[in-house]
Amino acid sequence: MNSETKFLLPEDRIPRAWYNIISDLPEPPAPVLHPGTGQPIGPDDLAPLFPMALIGQEVSAEREIEIPEPVRDVYRLWRPAPLYRARRLEQVLDTPAHIYYKYEGVSPSGSHKPNTAVAQAFYNKEEGTKRLVTETGAGQWGSSLAFAGNLFGLDIDVYMVRISFDQKPYRRAAMETYGARCVASPSEETESGRAILAEKPDSTGSLGIAISEAVEIAAQNDDAKYALGSVLNHVLLHQTVIGLEAMEQMEMAGEDPDIVIGCAGGGSNFAGLAFPFLGQQLRGGRTRRAIAVEPMSCPTMTKGTYAYDFGDTAHLTPLVKMHTLGSGFVPPGFHAGGLRYHGMSPLVSALVDSGLVEAQAFLQTECFAAGVQFARAEGIIPAPESTHAVKAAINEAERCKEEGTKRTILFNLSGHGHFDMQAYTDYFAGKLTDQPHDESAMREALEKLPEVAAE
């Protein structure tokens, strides 16, 4: 075992291929269905939205998909990302556990999102896209796509959930620094947006609405395509650079994780870290616990249904089989952080359903408490989303102490919280609560799941 605090890889150890977990799954993923016919869709159905290279990756069964050199070249700006041993946190917790974290906050936009943003921008540029349209919540994804699009000479339009647009202008400023256009959603620019505004002029927006707006623009404009920051297979694929690097770094540290943890909104940062490890296991390697952590106020995996549902509010997207709270679900107003999506990546959902991935949910105040404890021990202030992974890791480390057992815990610190200090301010001021949960709203949204013929 190594005495270092952080484990760094040289640039030539940036992975040369992404890892595709579909290749190792015992059965193929449930098909994606056409919203009109209920029948499985083909590449042509997706062509208005995505470049063919990404559609190919979405359905590929190859284990390794080569990372193009221009993408690796941009990755060099921050990758390989460091892996840390949380020695000071271990001391504070007085635990026999060894805690490691992969730190993705070193990227230009401060989170893991550029791993896929750069790849998506590259393939779009290759296939002649002029403009990429997307949605964003608090802005982690929007600022990352703005960064990536700028490097490849694409125009970037971001539909940003209005409440974040108004209350969290800092990531918007980052998007504009990178040259992107940022529009509050719902907007007057789309049919979907106008329909929402007609019904509710003071709508504060949701991710589902912003997705509808972005998809609509992409579908109607030949030179525009759509980009999604999580959920889809190709997005999770691109994030596997996290886990591939972490495997090599854990070897440098002379350890092998017993537990792998990531927070999960759409599932991409969790999958990015966990899939390479789960792939080993699926190919006959050792069994590890993989924990996907979500907020109790958007409990997709722990309280949702595993069923076909739409990805957006206006029902413009195909139907995917996933854990969902219903496409009309909006997290309660007291929920401060990200991880607000009504659904979950189909791949992560299938693994949760099969028992290979464990889902846990925590209250936001206990996550912030864990984030503060982490910051005071390790120095880095976690993004509110990442505090969910921190909370789960601390829980497991405390369990090790109770049981007197040494386990090796690895979690993904998916981003720093420097853009999110208002949430910490609110937490310290006692303004963050965990109530009231509106169980009836959740049930109502769940009752509206589409009926699907093909199942």
Q: Does 150 participate in binding a copy of itself (rule CB under 8 A)?
A: yes
Q: How many residues sit in the footprint of a copy of itself (CB under 8 A)?
A: 45
Among 68, 108, 332, 450, binds a copy of itself (CB under 8 A): 108
The Cα 217–Cα 223 span in angstroms is: 10
In the bound state with a copy of itself, the residue whose beta carbon lies nearer, of 26 and 379, is 379
Minimum distance of a copy of itself from residue 415's CB (angstroms): 11
- CA-CA-CA-CA torsion sign (374, 406, 351, 247): positive
Minimum distance of a copy of itself from residue 190's CB (angstroms): 24
Minimum distance of a copy of itself from residue 392's CB (angstroms): 20
End-to-end CA distance of the chain: 50
CA-only gyration radius of the chain, Å:
20
Q: Does 147 participate in binding a copy of itself (rule CB under 8 A)?
A: yes
Minimum distance of a copy of itself from residue 140's CB (angstroms): 12
In the bound state with a copy of itself, the residue whose beta carbon lies nearer, of 100 and 147, is 147
Among 254, 379, 430, 436, binds a copy of itself (CB under 8 A): 379
Secondary structure element (H or E) that encloses residue 289, with its range = strand 289-295
Q: Does 334 participate in binding a copy of itself (rule CB under 8 A)?
A: no
Q: Does 70 participate in binding a copy of itself (rule CB under 8 A)?
A: no
Q: Does 176 participate in binding a copy of itself (rule CB under 8 A)?
A: yes
Q: Does 106 participate in binding a copy of itself (rule CB under 8 A)?
A: yes
Q: Does 355 participate in binding a copy of itself (rule CB under 8 A)?
A: no
The Cα 350–Cα 346 span in angstroms is: 6
Q: Does 170 participate in binding a copy of itself (rule CB under 8 A)?
A: yes
Q: Does 238 participate in binding a copy of itself (rule CB under 8 A)?
A: no
Q: Number of helices and strands (H, E) in the chain?
A: 19, 15
The encoded tokens of residue 392 equal 């789960």
Minimum distance of a copy of itself from residue 77's CB (angstroms): 5
State phi, psi for 241 to the nearest 5 degrees: -55, -30
Q: Is the peptide bond before 186 cis (omega within 30 degrees of 0)?
A: yes
Among 16, 76, 200, 283, binds a copy of itself (CB under 8 A): 76
3-class secondary structure, 49 = coil
State phi, psi for 307 to the nearest 5 degrees: -160, 170
Q: Does 88 participate in binding a copy of itself (rule CB under 8 A)?
A: yes
Q: Does 271 participate in binding a copy of itself (rule CB under 8 A)?
A: no
Contact stretch for a copy of itself (CB under 8 A) within 31-39, 263-271, 420-428, 430-438: 420-428
Minimum distance of a copy of itself from residue 139's CB (angstroms): 10
Among 375, 441, 452, 454, binds a copy of itself (CB under 8 A): 375
Q: Does 431 participate in binding a copy of itself (rule CB under 8 A)?
A: no
The Cα 14–Cα 246 span in angstroms is: 11
The Cα 130–Cα 151 span in angstroms is: 13
Structural contact between residues 233 and 28, judged by C-beta atoms closer than 8 angstroms: no
The strand pairing partners of 121, in sequence order, are none
Minimum distance of a copy of itself from residue 57's CB (angstroms): 24
Q: Does 127 participate in binding a copy of itself (rule CB under 8 A)?
A: no
In the bound state with a copy of itself, the residue whose beta carbon lies nearer, of 11 and 166, is 11
The alpha carbon of residue 141 and the mean position of all alpha carbons in its chain are separated, in whole angstroms, by 9
In the bound state with a copy of itself, the residue whose beta carbon lies nearer, of 57 and 107, is 107
Contact stretch for a copy of itself (CB under 8 A) within 94-102, 219-227, 317-325, 423-431: 423-431
CA distances from 165 to 210, 230, 265, 358 (A): 12, 20, 19, 34
Among 38, 48, 64, 78, binds a copy of itself (CB under 8 A): 78
Q: What letter does residue 19 receive in the DSSP assignment?
A: E
Q: Among residues 251, 189, 238, 236, which one has the least CA distance to residue 215? A: 189
SS3 readout for 114-162? HHHHHHHHHHHHHCCCCEEEEEECCCHHHHHHHHHHHHCCCEEEEEEEH
Q: Does 376 participate in binding a copy of itself (rule CB under 8 A)?
A: yes
Length of the chain: 455
- CA-CA-CA-CA torsion sign (322, 18, 415, 411): positive
Structural contact between residues 407 and 400, judged by C-beta atoms closer than 8 angstroms: yes
The Cα 417–Cα 452 span in angstroms is: 41
Minimum distance of a copy of itself from residue 74's CB (angstroms): 8
Q: Does 416 participate in binding a copy of itself (rule CB under 8 A)?
A: yes
Label residue 274 exposed, middle or buried (CB < 10 Å: 0-12, 13-18, 19+): buried
Contact stretch for a copy of itself (CB under 8 A) within 28-36, 175-183, 196-204, 397-405: 175-183
Point out which residues bind a copy of itself (CB under 8 A).
Answer: 4-6, 8, 10-11, 73, 76-78, 84, 88, 106-110, 147, 150-151, 169-174, 176-179, 372, 375-376, 378-381, 416, 418-419, 421-422, 424-425, 428
